[in-house]
Structure 1
Amino acid sequence: MQNKEFLINQDLEELTQHRTVELPVACYETTIKENIHGHIPLHWHNEVQFVQILNGSAVFQINEEKVMVNKGEGIFINSGCLHKADDYNNSDCIYICLNASPYTFLSKELHTKYVSPYIQATNLTHLHIGKKEEWERNILKAILEIHQLIEQKNPFYEIVVVNHLNLIWQNLIMHGMQLEYSESEMQRSQRMKHMLNWIHLHSDDKINLADIAKAGKLSRAECCRYFKRIVKQSPMNYVMEYRINRSLSLLQDPSSNVTEVAYQVGFNSSSYFIAKFRESIGMTPLAYKKQQQAKLQ
């Protein structure tokens, strides 16, 4: 199964259902360039995520760090961490994405000792999974097997999936990382989420830097430093990009009008919207609209 429509809410929390009917688990293939945005936008979720690259390469950004992941490799992304992904150098990257609730791992009695400390550790935002070490190969093999099990849904497959998940978790925590817990790191993550959430709630209104900074309880200068560290762009450039990304799904509606969409996503000039859209997407909004309609015919 391919997942192309990547939905997030105003808190940047992913809305993809990370579960089957029976399990709080989802496992699917994603082709990055076929996503509506052309990339996987910045988001977070309560589930932990394991990724395995089937084709090409991807650059994942987790909080402030960027990580290159190549074909045959993988990455673990911890619960609650802001992350995004881009296809590297037009490699037509395809990957398996395995999302699982932390409560899927181990029994309730063992969760406090072997799961919670790793979910809460501020120095374990992510972990690159290569192919050299046995623990890495074990995780990658289990991801493929879980994907196959969920696709085929043979009798009792849920039991086997849970067994593989526990194997993945066992190999992850036996890797031997020394866990750390930083109040300042937790606070920084929450402040960033508050500012991004405020932008999303007010994206169709007039937005200024002072209001964004206020949402994060920061000075304007510190707000800019947060965005440049974590989002890799200025707050106002992020606002512009978010508005353009919002317009993509609206323009796919056959009855939509470019001018109406411009005002709906927060632009007060259709000509400015067209110029910025072309700068970001490489074509005018009307050309994009016609391109998307042609794909449906």
Structure 2
Amino acid sequence: MITVETCTERRIETGFTTSSNFQIWLVTKGRLTVRINGTHVRLDPGMALMLDCGQLTKVERTAAPFQITIVHVDPYDLFAPALVERYVAPYIETIGYYVAHPAAPTDKATLHTIEKAVRRLKSDSAFALLDATLQLAVIWRYWIQQTPATRPPGHDRMKRMISYIHNHDTMKLTLEEIAAAGGLSRAECCRYFSKWGDTSPLAYVQDVRMQRAARLLCETYLSVAEVANQLGFTSVSHFVQTFKRVHNRTPLAFRKQKT
């Protein structure tokens, strides 16, 4: 399956994320910084980030506006079965990530192909998907020839802790519970979050819960009190204060701005 979406600083998840498919991020406006497996990567206009599935990414918070187009790709859909066995299966979760830069001569053609694929996916042509698939196959060919970005030690432990937090985002988790999910001590758990995301485990729990709160406010008709209750807050005023610290506005102001 191949899909495309446009994201801005207001519509992109700022917590840790990991994808089960492959993604291409094309920066069309502004700039942003992304942590990929704990490494800072700055993306400027015209640059593209190609992400292997399983990479742990975190968009840094920014007040400056940016816009990116994200293409989600299942590479198994790009080739015939015989080619999949040779050119797709051996590379799954091994090619890491790659940043294509317009100043790099070897990347210019790839960036041009990415832009063409995006335009075709956004068009209403009868052959749009076919054209985009052919272009994405060319991008995949280029991608698998690059030197893979190896995952640092601790990647799987960090993923387990992040998954545990996201799977329990209506609960007020303890540091002990988070550390146990990664098979770490409390001190080691704190060091992991500091290294991989410049945050603490409990601060990240709060961010995840407030991101869920934001989605509930935008996607449902629940009252602020009902949202607070779903997230386990016994005090609505405490929930409002916590939400405001994360989103820089009250829940009602946030809902009004998003509608």
Distance in 1 between residues matched to 2:5 and 2:91, nearest whole Å: 24
Matches of residues 84-163 of structure 1 in structure 2 within 5 Å? Answer: 84-86=58-60, 88-90=62-64, 92-121=65-94, 124-163=95-134
SS in 1 for 2:92: helix
Distance in 1 between residues matched to 2:9 and 2:209, nearest whole Å: 20
Residue equivalent to 1:239: 205
Residue equivalent to 1:52: 26
Residue equivalent to 1:20: none
Question: Structure 1's 266 and 167: CA in aligned 2 closer, same or farther, altered over 3 A?
Answer: same
SS in 1 for 2:28: strand
Any idea what the Cα deviations from partners look like across 1:41-61, whole Å, max 9, x if unmatched? 432222211121111112122
Distance in 1 between residues matched to 2:92 and 2:75, nearest whole Å: 8
CA contact (8 A) 1:57 1:88 kept: no
Cα offset, 1:125, TM superposition: 2.7
Consecutive unaligned residues of structure 2, counting only runs of 5 or more, are none
Any idea what the Cα deviations from partners look like across 1:100-152, whole Å, max 9, x if unmatched? 1121344433434433444332xx43211101334311221111111222222
SS in 2 for 1:120: coil
The structure 2 residue matched to 1:218, chosen from 181, 184, 189, is: 184
Residue equivalent to 1:13: none
Any idea what the Cα deviations from partners look like across 1:56-111, whole Å, max 9, x if unmatched? 11212212112111111111111111223357551x21222112112134443343
Question: Structure 1's 207 and 96: CA in aligned 2 closer, same or farther, altered over 3 A?
Answer: closer
Among all aligned residue pairs of Structure 1 and Structure 2, give the percentage whose two residues are the same amino acid. 28
Residue equivalent to 2:196: 230
SS in 2 for 1:155: coil
Distance in 2 between residues matched to 1:223 and 1:131, nearest whole Å: 38
- Is 1:191 matched up with 2:157? yes
Q: 1:266 is aligned with what amino acid? A: G
Superposed CA RMSD in Å reads: 2.6
Matches of residues 59-70 of structure 1 in structure 2 within 5 Å? Answer: 59-70=33-44
SS in 1 for 2:53: coil
Could you state the TM-score of these two structures normalised by the residue count of structure 1? 0.76
Question: Structure 1's 40 and 210: CA in aligned 2 closer, same or farther, altered over 3 A?
Answer: closer
Residue equivalent to 1:170: 141
Q: 1:248 is aligned with what amino acid? A: A
Distance in 2 between residues matched to 1:127 and 1:68, nearest whole Å: 12
CA contact (8 A) 1:142 1:164 kept: yes
Could you state the TM-score of these two structures normalised by the residue count of structure 2? 0.86
Total equivalences in the alignment: 259
Any idea what the Cα deviations from partners look like across 1:29-52, whole Å, max 9, x if unmatched? 22233x1xx654432222211121
